[in-house]
A and B are shown apart, each in its own frame.
Chain A
Amino acid sequence: SQTIHQWPATLVQPVGSPLSLECTVEGTSNPNLYWYRQAAGRGLQLLFYSVGIGQISSEVPQNLSASRPQDRQFILSSKKLLLSDSGFYLCAWMGGTEAFFGQGTRLTVV
């Protein structure tokens, strides 16, 4: 079965510092991978998705970037964090009728 590993679980970073969140997938090949952000409360905002190695689609212009260096690896990055980047970040694998989410990273920018 498919498994998504996402780390770290929590992160506190100062404004202006860089960010790297990693997501890896097991149990499937050539998955469609997604990064979502959830602000306090609800609402899942799609940030990036990738249908293959090196292929990134950005949904929201912002301070973040994504990369897919390997088939089962999806990375979310920032060169300089802003206070507004705080939130709960979720990596997901979605295909057809199935969707699997990582456990999320709670990022607090201070």
Chain B
Amino acid sequence: GIQVEQSPPDLILQEGANSTLRCNFSDSVNNLQWFHQNPWGQLINLFYIPSGTKQNGRLSATTVATERYSLLYISSSQTTDSGVYFCAQNTGNQFYFGTGTSLTVIP
């Protein structure tokens, strides 16, 4: 199956700092998505980004499909950004999730 690797596995930031999360894929990139899981377990879809760049407020994502990776940028981090960030690729009927990056933003 498709292998999805995320880095770093854990990240601690001071409030206001910026960060970059990375997602590497073993196969061609299709229907790539980024999710945020808050500390209570709720998963929210952040971006659908099979290629190119998208921005939503302080978050932006870039996918370079030819090189099989995607980046999630968080600028001016806030404590509410804490949680686990997952990337996932959808092929057919299945989503393959990475192991996630656990982000803790401290005030």
Q: A residues near B, CB below 8 A?
A: 32, 34, 38, 42-44, 46, 49, 51, 57, 59, 88, 90, 92, 94, 96-101, 103-104, 106
Contact = CB atoms under 8 A, between A and B. Distances in A.
Contacts of B43: 90, 92, 101
Contact of A99 (B42, B45, B84, B93): B45
Nearest to B84: A42
Contact of A103 (B41, B93, B97): B41
Interface residues of B, number: 21
Interface in B70-107: 84, 86, 88, 90, 93-95, 97, 99-100, 102
Interface of B: 31, 33, 35, 40-45, 48, 84, 86, 88, 90, 93-95, 97, 99-100, 102
A49 B91 CA distance: 13
A104 B41 contact: yes
A40 B86 CA distance: 15
Nearest to A51: B93
**Chain A interface, >50% SS class:** strand
A98 B31 CA distance: 10
A32 B42 contact: no
A103 B95 contact: no
A34 B99 contact: no
B95 A42 contact: no
